[in-house]
Amino acid sequence: MLKRLLDPLSGVHVPHRKNTALMEAVRMPPPATVVIPTVMHIGAPAKPVVKAGDKVAVGQLIAESGGFISAPVHASVSGTVKKVEDIVLSNGRSAPAVFIESDGEMRPYEGIEKPKIESLADLAEAVRASGIVGLGGAGFPTSVKLAIKDIEQAEYFLINGAECEPYITSDTRTMLDYTDLVERGVRRISNFLKPKAVYIGIEKNKPKSIAKLKKRFADDPHIIVKGLPPMYPQGGEKVLIYNTVGRIVPEGKLPLDVGVVIMNVTTLANIEQYIETGMPLVEKLVTVDGSAVKEPKNVFVPIGTKLGDVFEFCGGFKEEPKKVLYGGPMMGTAVPDLSAPILKNTNAILAFTEKDAAYHEETPCIRCGNCVNHCPMRLNPPAIAKAFNNKDGAELYKQRVNLCMECGACSFVCPAHQPIVQRHKLAKTIVRNWQNSQKGGKA
């Protein structure tokens, strides 16, 4: 039964299209304005602490943490706050955003100080103050992962360098160009966690990253750089944990519940950079690619920069894009227009021509079983679809739709072009409503 829940051979072989893998990241100049949302993470929104007319500098706090699962937000450019106003994010959620007019000087905030870290609690507090969240795309506040009450729980420290989505190479460039930060970060955090072993999981289609990190950690047998099959979604948290340390994260549980602390490699590098400099998270390394982009690049971008400004820095478009995504083509989110800002967890922005963004007409399910065979969680999408159409929350719960990581492997292999991922997202809402009704009935 456990093997059926998470099969290491499941998933799909996606085209890699790592066009920018050999391109060292460049830093774009500050844009004229940035729009910095107070919600760029899972959890409670940050609370703005600035107002129109305030002068700000790079790294200055502009929104404080809104709770335990939250993250503060800092100015990514120096200049003047023009307004604090609600904007609609690509997920449809409305949130306050701080609009800053840049003075072009990128002056660092005078109050920047390197944190003093003498314990794991100090480390967790420093990460909280840095504003760092999961930079691989998840956006979970990283400080929460380090707020460990019983250090004996942290048996394994796992670094996610899989980067399994097509096109995206920002983590690859972190491993190749900022190896020193990665190395020091691994050793520093391991010193506080004291795990049995550290695993750095990287897909085998990144041989340079594997070789470079193996060389750096050759002196320590407890730090293992593990090459993994290039099978999507290898970088999924539960998949990576299973394929490195052989443990299954049960439904509703966290990695720490099975003895694992897991962190994206770029997140790790940014934590180390904050510890060494005191500069919080104010910029993001982003892969810019896609068939509509004239000059694909890896770019350091101030958080809050409009997508249009980033694409312009990359030469603009070869032709008008039909679709623009945050993230990769498998799990990415379409944006309504190019005024959308770069977020903390934006690891790529992709723009595709009409030909590559063509919509496939949905046809009836033919019960081929492809979606079942390729699901890493071994879910049954046809059974979920039937329960979804019946609005049957109890059956959807029984079918364990909440285990769906929304990786898109099912949709990728579906010959009928069924909207399986979208259906599963809506099905989770039905399950939540059903669970709430059950609680109400018991009360």
Long-range contacts of residues 112-121, Cβ cutoff 8 Å, at least 24 apart: 112/59, 112/277, 112/278, 112/279, 113/278, 114/275, 114/276, 114/277, 114/278, 115/274, 115/275, 115/278, 117/275, 119/192, 120/146, 120/148, 120/151, 120/192, 120/193
Say whether pLDDT at 408 is over 50: yes
Mean pLDDT of 204-211: 97
Mean pLDDT of 244-263: 93
Residue 120: the pLDDT is 96
What residue type is 326 in one-letter code? Y
Share of the chain above pLDDT 70, in %: 97
Dig out the tokens for 22 from the structure: 């050999």
Say whether pLDDT at 5 is over 50: no
- The rounded distance, in Å, linking the Cα atoms of 381 and 369 is 9
Share of the chain above pLDDT 90, in %: 88
Q: How confident is the model at residue 437 (pLDDT cuts 50, 70, 90)?
A: very high
Quickly count helices (H) and strands (E) in the chain: 14, 17
Say whether pLDDT at 421 is over 50: yes
Q: How confident is the model at residue 388 (pLDDT cuts 50, 70, 90)?
A: very high
Mean pLDDT computed over every residue of the chain: 94
Residue 230: the pLDDT is 93
Say whether pLDDT at 384 is over 90: yes
Residue 66: the pLDDT is 83
Global pTM exceeds 0.85: yes
Say whether pLDDT at 371 is over 90: yes
Q: Of the candidates 330, 285, 280, 269, which has an alpha carbon nearest to the alpha carbon of residue 132?
A: 280
Say whether pLDDT at 6 is over 50: no
Tens-place pLDDT, residues 107-152: 999 999 999 999 999 999 999 999 999 888 777 889 999 999 999 9
Tens-place pLDDT, residues 260-311: 999 999 999 999 999 999 999 999 999 999 999 999 999 999 999 999 999 9
Q: Are strands 260-264 and 26-27 parallel, antiparallel or unpaired?
A: unpaired
- The rounded distance, in Å, linking the Cα atoms of 90 and 270 is 25
Rg (C-alpha) for the chain, rounded Å, is 22
Residue 440: the pLDDT is 72
Q: How confident is the model at residue 68 (pLDDT cuts 50, 70, 90)?
A: confident
Say whether pLDDT at 319 is over 70: yes
SS3 for 255-310, per residue? HHHHCEEEEEHHHHHHHHHHHHHCCCCCEEEEEEECCCECCCEEEEEECCCEHHHH
Q: How confident is the model at residue 441 (pLDDT cuts 50, 70, 90)?
A: low
Tens-place pLDDT, residues 26-60: 999 999 999 999 999 888 889 999 999 999 999 99
Structural domains for the chain:
7-28+113-358 (3.40.50.11540), 370-442 (no CATH)
Say whether pLDDT at 2 is over 70: no
Residue 222 CB: number of other CB atoms within 10 A? Answer: 12
Say whether pLDDT at 69 is over 90: no
At residue 80, what are phi and psi to the nearest 5 degrees? -125, 135
Residue 106: the pLDDT is 98
